[in-house]
């Protein structure tokens, strides 16, 4: 079998696997970045000692535990607290003053993974006096990640990194004020955990989640193809109230998407946009 034939066979097998996951479980990865999908499936093949993508599909149809692992592989769970400190500085300096003009604030963290960014926002709101009049919605389709997020447990090795991030992001307190730790793990304070509404929501297949003032969806859309990016941007536009704020990741942009003309660049470098009306 020559190289071209091998590639075409692999592409056909991937399409078949993704179709099966959607038909059998309702998870739709068919419009995710091809490179991302191939990389994750090949990694699961290696870890499971399988020789082909067809074998992956067969095992997924027979073994629910394996399917759960595969779904976790395909979802996006890379995150950390106060990631990109300059972004959180921009939130504090430029977005928070706008939020302070509202009597009640609703924030949506879309694709929240294990919750680190949502907890970061809760801390920022507490320090800026907006904690009591804000509801934070944190959503993801990965229930395993959501369950971890709700628990609010993080290893002490991660907390050390998060403390450095918090300090770089102009945190106003001691980061240790926001968690309780033993020799292995730290748990976020109950007040922070209670502030966040965790919910299962799939950006690919679900509709508008709520009308909100601020949406954060950072470093998720880079894993979607152009068509799916447009669909999700329309979902965000329909979810934002007048003058609402949209925050994207460092490698993401509204440029060339169908709703780009409906926003102004609020903070160009940090990819923060403001809905025009």
Backbone angles phi, psi at 130, to 5 degrees: -110, 5
The Cα 266–Cα 11 span in angstroms is 40
Backbone angles phi, psi at 82, to 5 degrees: 50, 35
Q: What is the mean pLDDT of the chain?
A: 92
pLDDT on residue 6: 63
Cβ(277)–Cβ(246) below 8 Å: no
The Cα 149–Cα 246 span in angstroms is 22
Other C-beta atoms lying within 10 Å of the C-beta of residue 23: 9
Task: Measure Cα distances from 95 to 112, 128, 171, 181, 207 in Å.
Answer: 20, 11, 16, 31, 26
Beta partners for 198? 138
| 264: helix, strand or coil | strand
The angle at the Cα of 106, spanning 211 to 114, to the nearest 5 degrees, equals 105
Q: What is the pLDDT of residues 79-119, one digit of tens each?
A: 899 999 999 999 999 999 999 999 999 999 999 999 999 99
Average pLDDT of the segment spanning 35-64: 90
Q: What is the pLDDT of residues 175-211, one digit of tens each?
A: 999 999 998 999 999 999 999 999 999 998 888 888 9
Q: Of 215 and 37, which is predicted with more confidence?
A: 215
Residue of 94, 93, 91 lying closest to 83 (CA atoms): 91
DSSP 31: T
Instruction: For residue 7, name the pLDDT band (cuts at 50, 70, 90).
Output: low
Cβ(195)–Cβ(134) below 8 Å: yes
**Do the strands 240-248 and 263-267 form a parallel or antiparallel pair, or are they unpaired?**
unpaired
Q: How many residues does the chain have?
A: 277
């Amino acid at each position: 079998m020559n190289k071209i034939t091998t590639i075409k066979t692999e592409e056909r097998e991937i399409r078949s696997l993704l179709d099966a996951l959607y038909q059998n479980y309702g998870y739709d990865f068919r419009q995710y970045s091809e490179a991302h999908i191939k990389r994750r499936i090949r990694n699961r093949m290696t870890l499971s000692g399988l020789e082909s993508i067809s074998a992956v599909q067969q095992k997924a149809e027979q073994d629910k535990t394996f399917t759960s692992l595969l779904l976790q592989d395909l979802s996006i769970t890379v995150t950390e607290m106060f990631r990109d400190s300059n972004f959180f500085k921009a939130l504090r300096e430029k977005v928070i003053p706008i939020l302070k003009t509202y009597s009640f604030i609703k924030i949506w963290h879309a694709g929240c993974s294990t919750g680190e960014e949502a907890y970061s926002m809760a801390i920022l709101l507490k320090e800026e006096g907006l904690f009591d009049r804000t509801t934070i919605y944190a959503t993801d389709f990965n229930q395993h990640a959501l369950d971890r997020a709700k628990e609010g447990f993080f290893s002490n090795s991660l907390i050390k990194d998060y403390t450095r991030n918090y300090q770089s992001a102009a945190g106003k307190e001691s980061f240790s004020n926001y968690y309780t730790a033993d020799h292995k793990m730290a748990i976020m304070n109950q007040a922070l955990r209670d502030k966040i509404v965790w919910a299962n929501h799939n950006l690919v297949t679900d509709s508008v989640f709520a009308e909100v003032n601020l949406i954060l969806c950072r470093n998720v859309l880079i894993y979607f193809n152009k068509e799916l990016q447009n669909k999700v941007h329309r979902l965000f536009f329909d979810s934002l109230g007048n003058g609402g704020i949209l925050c994207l990741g460092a490698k993401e942009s509204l440029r060339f998407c169908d709703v780009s003309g409906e926003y102004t660049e609020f903070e160009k470098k940090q990819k923060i946009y403001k809905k025009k009306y």
